[in-house]
Amino acid sequence: MTTSETPAPKRFASINGEDVRRMATAVAGGLVLAIMTGPDGSITQPTYGFRSSLLSAHVIGFLFFGLLIGSLLTYRAKVKDGTWRQIRTAPKRSLAVRVASTNAVARNAVLAGTAGLTALLALLFADFTGPVASNKLSWHALIHQFLFTRTYGYLLLALALWFTVANQTVHLTTLRFRSLPRWSILVGAIVSTLLFALTADPFLPARFSWKALTPGSNGSMFRHWTTYLWLAFGVVVTSAYLLKRGGIRHSGPDKRTHTFNVSPSMRVLTYVAAGFVVFEAPKYLSLYWQISLYQQIGVYCLLALGLNIVVGFAGLLDLGYVAFYAIGAYVTAYFSGGLPLQPPFHLNPFLVIPFAIILAMMSGVLLGLPTLRLRGDYLAIVTLGFGEIIYVLANDWVKVTGGSPGTGTIGNFNVNFLGIHYGWSPANPLSYYYLMIAFLIPVLFLFDFLNNSKVGRSWAAIREDEVAAQSLGINALKYKVMAFAMGASTAGAAGVFTAVKVGVLFPNTFVLQLSITILVLVIFGGMGSIVGVLIGAIFLQWLPSYLTFHSYFGYQQTDLYLYIGALLVIMMIFRPQGLIPSRRRRREIADAEEGMGSADALGSIEYEQPS
């Protein structure tokens, strides 16, 4: 007697009436709380309280709270009855298989819809990074974006990225791209590169003009060396692709793959798109956002990368990370003559960077040698105490640090050597931003190299199980001290950039809350993931600044941490690995779900003892 296999449960088929009643009760309870704690009503105007609080932050907050409680209760019920595990362990079909299983009409409709959505997102991105407007989502503001050259660059990059993804997913056999001759592909690449050079040219005005395409005019793009640089880059990349692939041929429907693989061409295209956004988009932002890019986003990206080594790579909970940040900042103030204790010689802030990095690393080593024999919460308490010690010294040691009144004026970055001149002026805040990018990119490559080297593998082994790592001959104390030193060096460099930009330092800048904020960036982006940490830092630092000027539904700055806390609670339940997790972290989560160990990146794996 044979038994038929039970079909895989569907994601929405498991929702029953009890789930609907539970969710409705929670949402209704949140609405009742909003009404009971809302503004006072009026006997003569019964709808006064309803009108005054409709879609306000008060009502939205309680409704969100009720929705969160209902989701948690539903999730708990699904876990207890085993439905959630059945859904997660059921075999899933990839996107390519789902699209390929549809007919030609539906497939073309999906392709057309995703192309239109991609173009709309590019237009919205151009709108929100463009000039200040009273209503960004109005038709007038959207249509007005086509007057600017950068809009066409965003559309080109977005559609090129869509075409690459769609081509790898369903091979776009209807477009016959693979059957095109080589010369037509090369011509298309040249035209696309010229359009990209037009949008990325820093010497042309923001508004589009046909004079830029005329070779003989004064404002022509062909009179700038950047055009020929981008053109040479596009020709080289396209030629290398054609030579490597031996031409582009149509593989036919029988050779269609059902997995999404990142090809070299797509990787290069992604890097080019990211480089365009990083280098060119800030030029079209307002003065406030140009300053925020450096002070609120760039510095926090550097701090999050450093803490990611300690927390994400090595699995060490550091709650005093802000201490190294303060050391780098006050070292800059010392060598600039801004402290009561005068240095033997004054240094340019460029020359202060290596001193700040070395002193921060030495502080990390001195802290790590006696304390990194501890684990878990004990290590967190010690690092917390170290951060408070640095804060108290900066606040009370008036003869050295200046105390709570603050330091003196700190000098700016300025160099004039062999014809290379760099200086800062209030009219050009992007000079600091590009200097930060020049420092941040090598740090990214260095940390990526360390993560994939023997050092990174040793950190991963210590994070997963320190006892097992020591049994294999790994010197745990050595690599943990190395992680502390590397993370401290990045914080020290960030302190230099902050001290120079702010000009005056106050001890209240380096409080415990800043360490917690940096830790939140790492957890939200994905511990151990360099890209995830950057995305998390950019998003969580951009969002408060954006909401300050676009107060939706009565949003106030004091409510920020309430929403960030709720966001972290939701992520810990539904996506504990972070926004963009690393491959190692994904494997740890998968092993933990199968009962092979713990996915806690801040502790060791515990194995079940046989009964």
Whether the CB-CB separation of 277 and 535 falls below 8 Å is answered with: no
* 25 and 161 share one domain: no
Q: What pLDDT sits at residue 77?
A: 78
Question: Tens digits of per-residue pLDDT, 487-542?
Answer: 999 999 999 988 888 888 989 888 888 888 899 899 888 888 888 899 888 888 88
Element (H or E) spanning 572, and its range? helix 560-574
Q: What pLDDT sits at residue 323?
A: 92
Q: Is residue 549 part of a domain?
A: no
> Distance (Å, rounded) from C-alpha 139 to C-alpha 197?
28
Q: What pLDDT sits at residue 322?
A: 92
Confidence class for position 2, pLDDT limits 50, 70, 90: very low
Q: Is residue 548 part of a domain?
A: no
In the chain, the N- to C-terminal Cα span, in Å, equals 35
Is residue 297 pLDDT above 70, yes or no? yes
Q: Is residue 215 part of a domain?
A: yes
Q: Is residue 124 part of a domain?
A: yes
* 425 and 314 share one domain: yes
* 345 and 376 share one domain: yes
Structural domain total, the chain? 3
* 126 and 269 share one domain: yes
Confidence class for position 291, pLDDT limits 50, 70, 90: confident
Write the single-letter amino acid at 608.
Answer: E
Higher pLDDT, 67 or 91: 67
Q: Is residue 226 part of a domain?
A: yes
> Distance (Å, rounded) from C-alpha 527 to C-alpha 309?
9
- According to DSSP H, which parts of 417-465 are helical? 430-451, 454-464
Higher pLDDT, 361 or 350: 361
Residue 273 belongs to domain spanning: 95-284
Most confident of 138-142, 283-287, 487-491: 487-491
Is residue 398 pLDDT above 90, yes or no? no
> Which of 255, 284, 313 is the C-terminal boundary of a domain?
284
> Which of 227, 249, 284 is the C-terminal boundary of a domain?
284
Q: What pLDDT sits at residue 50?
A: 55
Question: Tens digits of per-residue pLDDT, 402-414?
Answer: 888 888 888 787 7
* 121 and 188 share one domain: yes
Give the burial string for 435-460 (b: 16+ CB within 10 Å, else e).
bbbebbeebeeebeebbeeebbebbb
Q: What pLDDT sits at residue 168?
A: 63
Could you give phi then psi for residue 59, rounded to 5 degrees?
Answer: -70, -45
* Average pLDDT taken over every residue of the chain: 75
Q: What pLDDT sits at residue 331?
A: 92
Is residue 95 pLDDT above 60, yes or no? no
* 255 and 395 share one domain: no
Question: Tens digits of per-residue pLDDT, 599-611?
Answer: 555 544 443 444 4
* 145 and 83 share one domain: no
Question: Tens digits of per-residue pLDDT, 465-476?
Answer: 888 888 888 888
- The residues with which 421 forms a beta bridge, in sequence order, are 416
Confidence class for position 126, pLDDT limits 50, 70, 90: confident
Can you tell me whether residue 605 is helix, strand or coil?
coil
Whether the CB-CB separation of 239 and 189 falls below 8 Å is answered with: no
Q: Is residue 188 part of a domain?
A: yes
Higher pLDDT, 31 or 55: 31
* 215 and 333 share one domain: no
Residue 401's alpha-carbon distances to 58, 94, 333, 347, 567, in angstroms, are: 44, 59, 9, 18, 38
Is residue 553 pLDDT above 90, yes or no? no
Q: Is residue 158 part of a domain?
A: yes
- The residue to which tokens 């050595």 are assigned: 478
Our measurement of the distance from residue 245's CA atom to the centroid of its chain's CA atoms, rounded to an integer in Å, reads: 33
SS3 content of the chain, % helix, strand, coil (to 5): 70, 0, 30
Q: Is residue 510 part of a domain?
A: yes
What's the mean pLDDT in 321-344? 89
Structure tokens at 117: 């959505």
Among 104-108, 168-172, 339-343, the least confident range: 168-172
* 71 and 106 share one domain: no
Q: What pLDDT sits at residue 101?
A: 63
Is residue 175 pLDDT above 50, yes or no? no
Structure tokens at 462: 């210590």
Is residue 1 pLDDT above 50, yes or no? no
Read off the pTM: 0.60
- The residues with which 553 forms a beta bridge, in sequence order, are none
* 484 and 352 share one domain: yes
* 520 and 375 share one domain: yes
> Which of 527, 547, 565 is the C-terminal boundary of a domain?
527
Question: Tens digits of per-residue pLDDT, 561-603?
Answer: 777 787 888 888 777 888 888 877 777 666 666 666 555 555 4
What's the mean pLDDT in 364-380? 83
Is residue 173 pLDDT above 50, yes or no? no
Q: What percent of the chain has pLDDT over 70?
A: 70
Q: What pLDDT sits at residue 91?
A: 62
Element (H or E) spanning 119, and its range? helix 104-128
Among 8-22, 298-312, 590-604, the least confident range: 590-604
- The residue to which tokens 């676009």 are assigned: 550
Q: What is the DSSP string of 317-347?
A: --S-THHHHHHHHHHHHHHTT-SSS--SS--
Is residue 286 pLDDT above 80, yes or no? no
Is residue 4 pLDDT above 50, yes or no? no
> Distance (Å, rounded) from C-alpha 476 to C-alpha 340?
41
* 327 and 265 share one domain: no
Whether the CB-CB separation of 136 and 127 falls below 8 Å is answered with: yes
